Amino acid sequence: MKNRLMPFASIAILGIVLMVVVSYWGLNNADKMLAAQEGKGQATEQAAPAADDPEGLVKASCVSCHGQNLEGGVGPELATVGSRLSAEQIANVINNGQNTMPAGMVDPAKAEVIAAWLAEHK
Ligand code: HEC
């Protein structure tokens, strides 16, 4: 009788041991997943540019149309826009749009920071 039950007992013990091991493994992974998520959170925080970082703001809101290096694309090049327009005029374009360029891509305070930075690009 005892001998016939032995295989079942060892399978049960094996199962219990496996459960414990897998739980530990899962806990370990949960920590890693949490850490990875926290890492991602930091990455998105870094991706959102500060209000006083004109280059970051332009990269986030403008390069899709004006080119990665402001060389132009759908919109005209901005690499030398300072030689054509004043900071005030640039802020005006950003706030009010111009033809196919949409208005209000960034809020006016950021537009001011961007305009001052772009006006230096001559
Ligand atoms: C959806 C595409 C698009 C986005 C995004 C965009 N622009 Fe434009 N932009 C244009 C187009 C198109 C023009 C040309 C408008 C015209 O025909 O007068 C333009 C024109 C301009 C001009 C005038 C340039 C000149 O020589 O007259 C400035 C300055 C400018 N954009 C700045 C920006 C800034 C700064 C941002 C980011 C906040 C931005 N744009 C985002 C499409 C875009």
**What pLDDT, in 10s, does the model give residues 4-37?**
777 888 899 999 999 999 998 888 888 888 777 7
Ligand 1 pocket, Cβ-based, cut-off 6 angstroms: 58, 61-62, 64-66, 74-76, 78, 81, 84-85, 90, 93-94, 98-102, 105-106, 114, 118
- C-alpha 111/C-alpha 4 separation (Å) is 81
pLDDT, averaged across the chain: 89
| Nearest alpha-carbon partner for 63 in 87, 93, 71 | 71
pLDDT more than 90, % of the chain: 66
Q: Are 108 and 74 in contact (CB under 8 A)?
A: no
Two tokens, residue 8:
């079942």
Task: List CB contacts of 80: < 8 A, sequence separation 6 or more.
Answer: 121, 122
Q: What is the pLDDT of residue 43?
A: 52
Rounded distance from Cα 53 to ligand 1 centre (Å): 19
